[in-house]
Amino acid sequence: MTTRAVVRGVGHYLPERIVPNAWFEDKIDTSDEWIRSRSGIERRHFAADGETTSDLAANAALEALADAGIAAETVDALIVATSTADLTFPSAATMVQHRIGMTGGFAFDVQAVCAGFVFALAQANALIVSGQATRVMVIGAETFSRIIDFEDRATSVLFGDGAGALLLEAVEGAGTNADRGILATDLHSDGSHRDILYVDGGVSTQTTGHLRMQGKEVFRHAVEKLADTAHASLGKLGMTGDDVDWIVPHQANLRIIKSTAQKMGVEMDRVVVTVQDHGNTSAASIPLALTTGVRNGQIKEGDLVVTEAIGGGLAWGSVVLRW
């Protein structure tokens, strides 16, 4: 028997305010046509004044608990993947732990920017497989609208706010690829690429800072590294793109999503795409897409799902799981 981390429930939360591409047109030199054609983005959600990352995360987590029919007191670990926590400390995770009524266990944040949810899923899997936890809430939540430079047309049009959550539970499997749950993970980072995607501020510099990105360079790394990591995690299982029912990629750019799917030999009708509605929500993008894929009937129990993401660091990776 092999212990597997199986998805028991999903939830998500998007702030009420929807901002269409046209909103930017009288503020910076851009157009709806440019944003759609270069990124696939049509709209994004921005958090209301005073609405924080832990607010978004708690709403998503409560929905995942309800979906699973599981009480918060029985969850023994909670991880929030975020780069935009409410405060320097405590972690967003401990705030969410309290908000959802999780009275025991432990909670912590993971910071791997847009790859954060993949990193958090891998950590949740490690906690479950090693017997340190049996029920783990994994949340990706961001308010990137707070770190956008609204005068920079190269970045401001790309990002949005939101949160998604998965509740994972330890289940005994047969130890084969037919098991439900997380089957393989593959994580990487390379700090030498710091300057192509970063925030020019932080606690130690006593500023919040703004997101800075050399888009073309990040794009180049993304199209190469995302297919590589997806192949690597599938390869650990002796699998290929042919075995995949759904790719649920980080939603940064439709052109990157298409290129990765093509390299994996997977048709676009087996890829969950939400970038048009959410923009790039960093660590929240994959759980938002997973929830959307489940809700609209795409992802079903037993399907083989591959998630992959890349972001600042650079940090990148993938997770293969059977739903």
The whole-angstrom separation of Cα 130 and Cα 2 is: 11
Known catalytic membership, residue 21: no
Which of 12, 21, 114, 253 is catalytic? The answer is: 114
Tell which positions 17-46 bind ligand UT7, by CB under 6 A: 30, 34-35, 38-39
Instruction: Indicate the residue among 154 and 171 with the shorter CB distance to ligand UT7.
Output: 154
Strands 77-81 and 135-143, how do they pair?
Answer: parallel
Is residue 154 within the footprint of ligand UT7 (CB under 6 A)?
yes
Taking the least distance from each CB to ligand UT7, the nearer of 135 and 278 is 278
Integer Cα distance of 271 and 252 in angstroms: 14
Q: Which of 157, 234, 244, 275 binds ligand UT7 (CB under 6 A)?
A: 157
Tell me the residue ranges of DSSP E strands in the chain: 2-13, 17-20, 43-46, 77-81, 106-110, 135-143, 161-173, 181-189, 197-199, 211-213, 246-249, 304-311, 315-322
Interaction of residue 153 with ligand UT7, rule CB under 6 A = yes
| Residues whose CB is less than 8 angstroms from the CB of residue 241 and which lie 6 or more positions away in sequence, other chains included | 230, 231, 234, 264, 265, 266
Closer to ligand UT7 by Cβ: residue 173 or 249: 249
What is d(CA 39, CA 258) in angstroms, rounded to the nearest whole number?
Answer: 11
* Closest listed residue to residue 107, CA positions, set 118, 119, 117, 120: 120
Reply yes or no on whether 210 is catalytic.
no
- Among residues 253, 260, 274, 281, which is the contact residue for ligand UT7, using CB under 6 A? 253
**Using rule CB under 6 A, residue 215 touches ligand UT7:** yes
Does the footprint of ligand UT7 cover residue 129 (CB under 6 A)?
no
Residue 222 makes contact with ligand UT7 by CB under 6 A: yes
DSSP-assigned beta bridge partners for residue 186: 318
Specify the residue, 105 or 287, whose C-beta has the smaller distance to ligand UT7.
287
Select the residue interacting with ligand UT7 from 96, 256, 257, 320 (CB under 6 A): 256
Give every CB contact of residue 309 below 8 A, 6+ residues apart in sequence: 114, 115, 116, 117, 118, 226, 249, 250, 285, 286, 316, 317, 318
**54-93 residues near ligand UT7, rule: CB under 6 A:** none
Render the burial of 59-70: b for 16+ CB within 10 Å, e for the rest.
bbbbbbbebbeb
Identified binder of ligand UT7 from the candidate list 218, 239, 275, 315, rule CB under 6 A:
218
Nearer to ligand UT7, 16 or 29 (CB): 29
Q: How far is CA 208 from the centre of its chain?
A: 22
Closest distance to ligand UT7 from the beta carbon of 74 (Å): 34
In the complex with ligand UT7, the residue whose CB is nearer, 152 or 245, is: 152
Q: Which two tokens stand for residue 246?
A: 């759904």
Q: What residue ranges bind ligand UT7 (CB under 6 A)?
A: 30, 34-35, 38-39, 114, 153-154, 157, 215-216, 218-219, 222, 252-253, 256, 280, 310-311
Catalytic sites, residue numbers:
114, 250, 280
